[in-house]
Amino acid sequence: MKFVLSSKIFRATVTEANLAYQGSITIDTDICDKAGFWIGEKVLVVSNTSGARLETYVIPGESGSGVICMNGAAAHLIKEGEEVIIMGFALSDKPIEPKIVFVDKNNKIIKVK
């Protein structure tokens, strides 16, 4: 068994950073659904802007809003306006084809692979 990439949101823009929240990443539920992310799923978030990498979990954001919000301590590492890649992984005994969601600068879905 190996951990393999199962889902990815490519080049999303962080729309908010909320230090007061307990922790996690808020993602527009439309984008979550297209990527196949589950609410509460552990994800790896990588900033193309700063190089920061962190693990957290998904909480639902308003459908159609384009929200990508770093919450709690993660907001110290990845800030509003940064470009990020959000990845989910699955434990599998064979290769799987990941769902990849491409978004524009406003986090509107432009393509799903």
Residue closest to 44 by CA, chosen among 59, 61, 56: 56
- For residue 47, indicate whether it is catalytic: no
Reply yes or no on whether 21 is catalytic: no
Which candidate in 50, 57, 63, 65 is catalytic? 57
92: which 2 tokens? Answer: 């599998």
Kindly list the distances between the CA atom of residue 68 and the CA atoms of 18, 50, 85, 94, in Å, as whole numbers in the listed order.
Answer: 11, 16, 11, 31
Catalytic residue selected from 6, 7, 24, 47: 24
Instruction: Catalogue the active-site residues.
Output: 24, 57
